[in-house]
């Protein structure tokens, strides 16, 4: 039974397999699969193209609507722009007109202001002229311009006069009142000026007192020449007389004494043809005659640095004198060479050396040293010349560098004094301010005097120092030329020829007599 069941099961399974194999379709080939894919892709492209074509049509319609709206807005904007341009042109024209109006008003205001300034200046000058003679201006008429009107934005709100119109009206009223006030003020002044000028323009004598040059007060007659000069004649017999100067507070003094003949002639009622007069502007301030400063006072005003500059200048003068003396004593060897040239040609070198020793000066000492060794080789002569010339150059150039140093240091010291003087001036300004010029004069004097002294010392020292250096250079050149001529004369017998020129041999010379050992030449 089990075998039959197994056999039946196998048969059933076989039948199922055969039936399922018959039901499945055959698998497509690769070519068929490719065509199917192309068809699907083509269908998808057609569908996408149709969608995009519909979108294009919709966008075209939308673009046309947007363009129409933009054109409408542009036309409206152009219209507004043209209207604004027309408005701008109208406003520009109006602004130009207003600007011209403002300029005209400003010009009128400037003219009015200049008129007020002229009136005010005239009134103030008149008040200064009347000062000390009459009380002016009279009560109720004060000197001053029109009062300033408060701006419109500062005017109290709700009160009469607030606003631009009220401000302009108030300004015009104030200006008119000021013009009337100045008219009355100047009219009164001119009315009082005539009698005052007549009184002040006359020469009048009156009793009074004045001070002499030694500070003693004397009484006598005061002869007033208008309001600009006063003469005094003492009452006592043989008393002093002359033109008086203001002593302050309306008083006068005879300092310095002058114009005695004019004063006595005016007191006698016989005005002279020419007069010695002292004109003053105000008798309220003391007049101090200018005093000439001595050189010592000038140096003291310059402070300690000025004394240093003066000492440096004195040292420079001393060095200039010593250097000039040394150059005079050095002497040029030109005349000496003319005396020893015949002796050298004759081979008498010892006599030439003795002649040089008998002379004074740097050139004589150099030629004496060479004359003792003319029989030596040229190299030896060059060494003798270099040694002797080095010693003489130290004497000739002595004090030359010191003079140039003084010429350079003196203006620097003057500049230092300028700086210290200005520092002192600023210290005074810091402590006392600038109200009193006399307090500032000390520092300013120190600053300027030290600069002046520094230049006074430096300029002559530099000039004379360079002249002396040129003198020394010429002297050294003369010594060198004379030494070279001496060597050439001893070697070739011609002072103007160069040694060994043209290959000519040295001329034979008789042997010189033995010389005594040369004396030591002081350095």
pLDDT recorded at residue 258: 84
Dihedral of alpha carbons 228, 234, 240, 241, sign: positive
Tokens of 232: 């005094």
pLDDT recorded at residue 132: 66
Look at strands 229-234 and 241-248 and give their pairing. antiparallel
* 3-class state of residue 236 by DSSP: coil
**DSSP per-residue codes, 319-356:** HHHHHHHHHHHH--SHHHHHHHHHHHHTT-HHHHHHHH
H or E stretch at 120: helix 30-130
Can you give the residue ranges of every domain in the chain?
A: 49-147+164-197, 201-267, 301-503
Contact 203, 266 (CB under 8 A): yes
* Cis omega (within 30 of 0) for bond into 137: yes
- Judged on CB neighbours under 10 Å (0-12, 13-18, 19+), 116 is middle
Vertex 280 angle, CA 277 and 281, to 5°: 150
pLDDT recorded at residue 103: 86
Closest CA to 309 of 399, 417, 402, 405: 417
pLDDT recorded at residue 477: 87
Q: Report DSSP state, residue 159.
A: S
pTM over 0.85, yes/no = no
pLDDT string in tens for the chain (523-residue length): 555 665 666 666 665 555 554 555 566 788 888 888 888 888 888 888 888 988 888 899 999 999 999 999 999 999 899 999 999 999 999 999 988 888 887 887 777 777 777 777 888 887 777 776 777 777 777 776 544 433 444 444 444 444 555 666 777 777 777 778 878 888 888 888 878 777 777 788 888 888 888 888 888 888 888 778 888 888 876 788 888 888 888 888 888 788 888 888 888 888 888 888 888 777 778 887 777 778 888 888 888 899 999 999 999 999 999 999 988 888 878 778 778 888 877 778 788 778 887 788 888 888 888 878 787 787 788 888 888 888 888 888 889 899 999 999 999 999 998 898 888 888 878 877 776 666 677 778 788 889 999 999 999 999 999 999 999 888 888 888 888 888 878 776 544 443 333 333 333 343 333 333 333 333 2
**DSSP per-residue codes, 21-69:** HHHSPPPPPHHHHHHHHHHHHHHHHHHHHHHHHHHHHHHHHHHHHHHHH
Dihedral of alpha carbons 407, 408, 410, 414, sign: positive
Rounded Cα distance, 148 and 157, in Å: 19
According to DSSP, the residues that pair with 340 across neighbouring strands are: none
Contact 349, 512 (CB under 8 A): yes
Rounded Cα distance, 59 and 46, in Å: 20
If DSSP states are collapsed to H, E and C, what string results for 428-450?
HHHHHCCCCHHHHHHHHHHHHHH
Tell me the C-alpha to C-alpha distance, in Å, between residue 183 and each of 136, 176, 190, 376. Answer: 15, 11, 11, 113
- Judged on CB neighbours under 10 Å (0-12, 13-18, 19+), 329 is exposed
Alpha helices in 131-230 (DSSP H): 164-200
* Cis omega (within 30 of 0) for bond into 2: no
Alpha helices in 346-436 (DSSP H): 349-358, 362-371, 378-396, 400-432
pLDDT recorded at residue 507: 35
Rounded Cα distance, 305 and 298, in Å: 12
Contact 349, 342 (CB under 8 A): no
Tokens of 240: 């002093």
Tokens of 223: 């002869």
According to DSSP, the residues that pair with 206 across neighbouring strands are: 222
Contact 255, 242 (CB under 8 A): no
Rounded Cα distance, 442 and 156, in Å: 57
Rounded Cα distance, 276 and 254, in Å: 13
């Amino acid at each position: 039974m089990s075998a039959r069941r197994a056999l039946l099961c196998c048969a059933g399974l076989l039948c199922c397999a055969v039936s399922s194999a018959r039901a499945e379709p055959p698998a497509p080939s690769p070519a068929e699969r490719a065509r199917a894919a192309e068809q699907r892709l083509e269908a998808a492209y057609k569908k996408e193209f149709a969608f995009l074509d519909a979108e294009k049509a919709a966008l075209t319609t939308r673009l046309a609507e947007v363009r129409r709206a933009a054109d409408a807005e542009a036309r409206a904007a152009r219209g507004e722009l043209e209207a604004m341009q027309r408005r701008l042109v109208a406003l520009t024209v109006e602004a130009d007109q207003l600007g011209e109006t403002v300029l005209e008003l400003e010009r009128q205001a400037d003219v009015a202001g200049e008129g007020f300034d002229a009136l005010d200046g005239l009134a103030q000058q008149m008040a200064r002229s009347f000062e000390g003679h009459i009380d002016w201006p009279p009560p109720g008429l004060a000197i001053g311009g029109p009062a300033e009107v408060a701006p419109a934005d500062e005017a109290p709100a709700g009160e009469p006069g607030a606003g631009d119109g009220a401000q302009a009206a108030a300004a015009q009223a104030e200006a008119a009142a000021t013009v009337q006030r100045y008219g009355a003020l100047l009219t009164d002044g001119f009315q009082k000026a005539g009698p005052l000028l007549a009184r002040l323009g006359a020469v009048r004598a009156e009793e009074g007192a004045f001070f002499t040059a030694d500070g003693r007060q004397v009484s006598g007659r005061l002869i007033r020449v208008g309001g600009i000069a006063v003469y005094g004649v003492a009452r006592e017999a043989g008393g002093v007389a002359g033109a008086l100067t203001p002593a302050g507070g309306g008083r006068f003094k005879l300092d310095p004494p002058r114009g005695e003949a004019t004063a006595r002639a005016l007191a006698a009622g016989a005005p002279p043809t020419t007069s010695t007069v002292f004109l003053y502007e105000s008798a309220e301030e003391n007049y101090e005659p200018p005093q000439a400063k001595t050189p010592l006072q000038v140096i003291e005003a310059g402070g300690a640095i000025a004394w240093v500059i003066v000492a440096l200048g004195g040292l420079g003068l001393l060095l200039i004198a010593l250097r000039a003396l040394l150059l005079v004593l050095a002497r040029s060897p030109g005349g000496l060479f003319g005396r020893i040239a015949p002796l050298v040609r004759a081979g008498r070198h010892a006599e030439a050396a003795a002649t040089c020793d008998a002379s004074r000066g740097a050139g004589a000492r150099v030629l004496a040293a060479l004359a003792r060794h003319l029989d030596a080789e040229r190299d030896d002569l060059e060494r003798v010349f270099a040694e002797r010339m080095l010693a003489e150059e130290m004497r000739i150039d002595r004090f030359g560098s010191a003079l140039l140093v003084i010429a350079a240091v003196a203006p620097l010291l003057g500049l230092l004094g300028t700086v210290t003087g200005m520092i002192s001036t600023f210290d005074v300004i810091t402590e006392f301010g600038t109200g009193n010029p006399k307090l500032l004069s000390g520092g300013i004097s120190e600053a300027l005097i030290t600069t002046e002294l520094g230049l006074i010392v430096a300029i002559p020292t530099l000039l004379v120092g360079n002249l002396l250096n040129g003198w020394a250079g010429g002297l050294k050149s003369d010594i060198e030329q004379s030494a070279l001529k001496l060597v050439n004369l001893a070697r070739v017998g011609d002072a103007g020829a160069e040694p060994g020129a043209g290959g000519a041999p040295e001329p034979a010379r008789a042997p010189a007599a033995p010389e005594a050992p040369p004396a030591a030449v002081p350095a």
